[in-house]
């Protein structure tokens, strides 16, 4: 799978997210439409593992924290960028989400949690900030950013 195919694979998620508020209701809708273990979730998860193995996804960083922007925000993605991180028992750098953040949590280690969340979708609303934290092992996290906006604060 290449970037173009991955962009196409993600289209159903872009379509659900388009024009909706980035809040807990969106997380509920994404978990209903694309639950962990469902066909879409499994396809994206498999594509991420394949792309990481191929070397074009999560190509930056080092041991315990690999990351990278996969898709830039564009009209065909409803102005959502897509980044994927591979985190192992880590507290990441503090950052803000000016327009919110929509996360797809894919534990590699079954017990792994991202900011306390197991497999599935979670949403950080506009203006929120955090240190992304994975506990209990390894997790992939795909995150969509409206307008591609993220601000690393250095805190």
User: What is the DSSP code string of the chain?
Assistant: --HHHHHHHTHHHHHHHTTS-SSHHHHHHHHHHS-TTSHHHHHHHHHHHHHHHHTSSS-EEETTEEEEEEE---GGGTTEEEEEEEEEEEE---EEETT-EEEEEEESSTT-EETTB-SEEEEE-TTEEE--EEEEEEEEEEEEEETT--EE---
Mean pLDDT by 10 residues, the chain (155 residues): 95 97 97 98 98 96 94 96 97 95 98 98 97 97 97 84
Domains of the chain: 3-149 (2.60.120.10)
Q: Does the global pTM surpass 0.75?
A: yes
């Amino acid at each position: 799978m290449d970037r173009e195919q991955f962009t196409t694979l993600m289209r159903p998620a872009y379509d659900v997210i388009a024009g909706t508020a980035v809040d807990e209701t969106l997380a509920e809708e994404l978990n209903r439409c694309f639950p962990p273990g469902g066909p879409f979730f499994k396809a994206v998860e498999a594509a991420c593992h394949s792309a990481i193995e191929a070397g074009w996804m999560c190509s930056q960083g080092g041991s315990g924290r690999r990351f990278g922007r996969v898709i830039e925000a564009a009209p065909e993605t409803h102005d959502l960028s897509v980044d994927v991180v591979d985190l192992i028992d880590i507290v990441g750098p503090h950052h803000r989400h000016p327009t919110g953040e929509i996360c797809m949590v894919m534990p590699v280690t079954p017990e792994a949690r991202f900011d306390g969340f197991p497999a599935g979708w979670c949403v950080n609303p506009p203006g929120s900030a955090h240190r992304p934290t994975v506990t209990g092992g390894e997790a992939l996290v795909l995150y969509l950013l409206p307008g591609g906006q993220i601000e690393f604060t250095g805190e």
